[in-house]
Amino acid sequence: MQTAPIHFDTFNALADKVAQIRIEEARASLGKRAVLLCHHYQRADVYRHADITGDSLKLSRLASQSDAEYIVFCGVHFMAEVADILSRPNQISILPDLAAGCSMADMASLAKVERCWRELSSVLNPDETVTPVTYINSAADLKAFCGAHGGIVCTSSNAPKILEWSFARREKVLFFPDQHLGRWSGHKMGIPLDQMVIWNPDLEMGGLTVEQIRNAKIILWHGYCSVHQMFQPSQIAKFRAQYPEGKVISHPECSFEVCQQSDAIGSTETIIRIVKESAPGTRWLVGTELNLVDRLAEEVKHEGKIVQFMADTICMCSTMQRIDPQHLAWTLENLVAGNVVNQIKVPEHEAKLAKIALERMLDAS
C-alpha cells in the first residue's frame, strides 16, 4: 500500500542504535525485494547491512545479475548510475543520500570533454585516432560520450587490459578523469612518461602544443582523487625504515611516485584479497581509504597481521560517508511503505550509449 513519502526530517535526529534496529526491521519486511550493495569504503555502521560488497567492477557486474526489485546502492552517485544502466527495466536503483557524489568524477564534465574533442580535431581526427576511455568514476553522460565515439569504460582493476583494447583500435587514448590511474596503467604497458601528457581542461588546447599532442600516446585528464592524493612517498620511506620486512600496497589512484614505491597495486577488492592471502604475521602499509583499512586491520589481526594506514592524517571518502544509518533507514522504510525515494535514473538515450561503453568493458575484462 502506498502512502505519502516519509520526509527525511523525521530521521535526522534518530539515534544510531534506533536507526540500526529500524534498518533491520525494514530489511526483514522487504526480504528479497531489495538488495543492498556496499562499496568497500562504506562506513562500518552501514557496511554491516550489505548483501554484497565489492570494488566498482564487481559491484557493476553483480548489480546487473541481481533479481531484486530495488538495488539500494551504498556507494556514490556514479555507482548507482551504473547499476541503473546495467539493470533490467523493472529494477530501481537507489542512492540513500543524493549528496553522495565523487569529487574526482566531478572534475570532468561533458561540456569540457566535448570541447577537448573539438580542440583535438584541429590537430588530428580524434574519431579515427583517439579512443576515449573513461574511468568508471565519471558521470553517465561521459560514459555515453565514450559509447558514441568508439570508446570504453575502465575500472581500477582492469585499466591496463582496457588500454590494450583501446590501442588495438586506435593509436592514442584520451583518458579521463583520473590522471594517476591512466599514467600508472600506461606505464605498466611500457609507455614512456613523456608520451603521456596532461590535458588541463581550463586551458586552451589543454595547455599543450600541437607537437605534444601529436607525440602523445595517452592524453591524461587533469583529474585526481582528493583522498588518494594524501598519500606520499615519504610515508612509505618512513615505514620501510622502521619495518624493513613490511610490505606496501596502494590503490592506483595514488600518485605515480607512491605506486612506484609500493610492493603491490590494486583495486579495493584486490588490496583486501592480497592482504588476506599473505602469510600470517605480515605487516602492511595500505594506501587507500580509511574505512577499508580499519576494517581490514580488524579482520586479519587474529592471524598476527598488522595493517597500517599510509597517511598521517585521517582521510576518508567524505561523500560516501554521507550515506549513514539514518539515510538508509529512511530509504528502506519508504520502500516498505511503497514509496521510492532517491531513485537514480539515467535518461534513456544516455543510458543506451553508456551501456555500449560499459558492455565493451565487461566483454574485454
Partnered with residue 354 across adjacent β-strands are none
How far apart (Å, rounded) are the C-alpha atoms in residues 350 and 122? Answer: 27
β-pairing, 283-287 with 306-309? parallel
Site string for ligand SF4, 127-166 (x = CB under 6 A): ----------x-----------------------------
User: Which residue, among 105, 78, 88, has the nearest Cα to 35 in the 3D structure?
Assistant: 88
Total residues in contact with ligand SF4, by rule CB under 6 A = 13
The residue among 205, 222, 230, 277 whose CA lies nearest residue 108 is: 222
Site for ligand SF4 in 274-333 (CB under 6 A): 289, 317, 319-320
Q: Is the dihedral of CA 85, 90, 91, 92 positive or negative?
A: positive
Alpha-carbon distance of 261 to 159, in angstroms, equals: 20
- Segment 202 to 261, residues that bind ligand 13P, using CB under 6 A: 225, 251, 253
Q: Does 156 bind ligand 13P (CB under 6 A)?
A: yes
Member of 267, 331, 334, 342 binding ligand 13P (CB under 6 A)? 267
Pairing of strands 130-135, 172-176: parallel
User: Based on CB atoms, which residue is closest to ligand 13P, 316 or 337?
Assistant: 316
Instruction: Give the x-and-dash track for 66-85 against ligand SF4 (CB under 6 A).
Output: ----------x---------
- Taking CB within 5 to 8 Å according to partner kind, which of ligand 13P, ligand SF4, none is near residue 19? none
Q: Which of residues 212-231 bind ligand SF4 (CB under 6 A)?
A: 225, 227
- Build a one-symbol-per-residue string for 49-68: x at contacts with ligand 13P by CB under 6 A, - elsewhere: ------xx------------
Nearer to ligand 13P, 225 or 275 (CB): 225
Map the footprint of ligand SF4 across residues 87-126, applying CB under 6 A: 102-104
Please identify which residue in the block is written with the cell numbers 592482504.
275
Nearest-approach distance from CB 107 to ligand SF4, in angstroms: 10
CA 146 – CA 169 distance, rounded (Å): 14
User: Of residues 42, 60, 134, 155, which one binds ligand 13P by CB under 6 A?
Assistant: 155
Instruction: Report the distance separating Cα 75 and Cα 321, nearest Å.
Output: 9
What is the DSSP code (8-state) at residue 198?
A: E
Binding partner of residue 66 among ligand 13P, ligand SF4, none, CB cut-off 5 to 8 Å per kind: none
Q: Which three cell numbers stand for residue 186?
A: 600506461
Of 104 and 213, which CB lies nearer to ligand SF4 in the complex structure?
104
Q: How far apart are CA 135 and CA 224, in angstroms?
A: 11
| Separation of alpha carbons 351 and 353, rounded Å | 6
**Interacting residues with ligand SF4 (CB under 6 A):** 41, 76, 102-104, 137, 225, 227, 253, 289, 317, 319-320
